[in-house]
Amino acid sequence: MLTKPLSAITKNTMQACGVTADLDHDGGMQVVSPVTGEVVATLAVDDAAATEAAIGKARAAFRDWRMVPAPRRGELVRLFAEELRKSKEDLGRMVSIEAGKSPSEGLGEVQEMIDICDFAVGLSRQLYGLTIATERPGHRMMETWHPLGVVGIITAFNFPCAPWCWNSALALVCGDPVIWKPSEKTPLTALACQAVLDRALARFGDAPEGLSQVLVGGPEVGETLVESENVALISATGSTRMGRIVGPKVAARFGKCILELGGNNAGIVCPSADMDMALRAIAFGAMGTAGQRCTTMRRLFVHESVYDQIVPALVKAYGSVTVGNPLETSALVGPLIDKAAFDGMGAALEEAKALGGTVHGGTRADVEGNGYYVHPALVEMPVHDGPVLRETFAPILYVMKYADFDTVLEDHNAVGGGLSSSIFTTDLREMETFLSARGSDCGIANVNIGTSGAEIGGAFGGEKETGGGRESGSDAWRAYMRRATNTINYSRELPLAQGVVFDI
């Protein structure tokens, strides 16, 4: 049992991170922990005017920060990583309190922030452009990359801090100030992260005011960021519905957009698969974070020859997995974020039953408090239809039998989302086909690991209704900069390209 009220634990943790904001603002926005259903803080809310003021500060900061050498900008991020290490336990606890994650997952999310900071520090000395062959004698052609401008970051509740850091660590070394609008369900973690960054800024010494800001509020804040012509890039993580709103608005003003949206991720278990490995990977991929990951495995295709081998083992695993309060127990599955998520899961299961699905689990778990805890559900489906084709942000895994590999690839790709995917096989032909142009159509395609647990070294994102954006590693940094192609004539002649002659 907790020795103190959760609200008191929250306030102590926030204080340890260095947060000085009023957590008991009269009449402000209530922050409810999914762990117990308790109101743990009440925050003042920013409005459109406050958002415009923040954008103005960020624009002023950009004029100075873009002129700071990139390796020097990297030094700020290096100091931030040091401060994150000092506050890892406290920030991880805030993730558990606000998002309901297990302590291991909460700490893992903070570690992801540390990892991307380390990546960005190295990147600050590797913002490379190309030297390009030119057809004109006495000329040199090259490309250069310059800071882009103010970056607006909108994040979702299920990862309350890591996606912000994927964006902000890269944006800062690229020369861009950032404004963060966290989910209304997880603003405390955002305030704690900013307080930790403020410590790094104080150590850095000469960063401009307004380089990194957090705005707590609802749709009005997001709309102002999205519609402002003074915000060069919007990076938005959330539902496909949200992306359909944000994308056109940013495009209408010719802004840049990184969209990280929903995913209806699938795995394929082939006859040659290592069944023990597949079982463990599927269990975490489908049940981790109570199914509230954009990379959660939601569909599973199992070859008919091994269906009776792996599905009963999965049903047994689903029946034995522990569900409980992540702050009091070692349970592997924590709460759903709220009642809407609980109701959505129930509706999806009823729809699956109507189509002939056999549901294992899916009932409400008996956990003390007012949180919405559920036993993960495994649903054996006779058809690839109905709720299977949609993303339900809950721990539901739809399992279907397949016979033909080419047909299962078509079913695998026959959904709107295109984020993550995996195949379990030791057959080289199946493996390579899955990774080929006619295989998985997702931004992430894995072999013999699950759909979740991406590392920061690779670019993260997906295709189709996932939005096409890329964050984190590889060359994702380019989205936060603008490219200029430069041609220098060091000769005494003026030849034109393509053989054009224009003599006067």
Per the annotation, the verdict on 260 as an active-site residue is yes
Q: What are phi and psi of 460, to 5 degrees?
A: -105, 130
The continuous run of DSSP H or E covering 143 comes out as strand 139-147
Residue type at position 233: L
Residue type at position 181: K
Q: Residues 324, 326, 330, CA angle at the centre, nearest 5°?
A: 75
Spatial contact of 296 and 353, defined as CB atoms under 8 Å apart: no
Pairing type for strands 256-260 and 265-269 reads: unpaired
Other Cβ atoms less than 10 A from the Cβ of 300: the count is: 28
DSSP helix/strand/coil, 133? coil
Q: What are phi and psi of 416, to 5 degrees?
A: -70, -40
From residue 213, alpha-carbon distances to 34, 136, 313, 330, 468 in Å are 26, 47, 48, 35, 26
Angstrom distance (rounded) from CA 235 to CA 58? 16
| Strand order through the sheet with 131-132 | 131-132, 139-147, 481-489
- Contacts (Cβ under 8 Å, ≥6 apart) of 259: 236, 243, 246, 247, 466, 467, 468, 469
Other Cβ atoms less than 10 A from the Cβ of 20: the count is: 10
Q: Which of 184, 260, 391, 465 is catalytic?
A: 260
Q: Which residues are catalytic?
A: 260
